[in-house]
Amino acid sequence: MNIELARTMVRTAFDANRTLQAILPALKAGLPEADYRASAHDLAVAVDHVNTALLARAIAAHPGLEAEIETAIREQGRF
């Protein structure tokens, strides 16, 4: 894969994870505690799958991308 595709994969992973995490406050407010914990766990599993499918593969293909991501987050607050 080329570097631009890898960067797109990373951005897509970050966007998907941000979207998944955005529902947590509504779940906490609208579910009984046990259901919230189960849902939060399921979301964590989903985030992990996204990271493995997209983020980890992109970085494995372009190891230098990890430093690029960290620099962008530190300097701009996002990648």
Q: Give the per-residue pLDDT at 43.
A: 96
For the entire predicted model, the pTM comes to: 0.84
Q: Give the per-residue pLDDT at 19.
A: 96
- Taking the C-alpha atoms of residue 67 and residue 53, their distance in angstroms, rounded to an integer, is 19
DSSP 56: I
Helices (H), the chain: 3-22, 24-30, 33-50, 57-61, 65-76
The size of the chain, in residues, is 79
Do residues 72 and 79 make contact, with C-beta atoms less than 8 angstroms apart?
yes
DSSP 23: T
Can you give the pLDDT of all 79 residues of the chain as single tens digits?
999 999 999 999 999 999 999 999 999 999 999 999 999 999 999 999 999 999 999 999 999 999 999 999 999 999 9
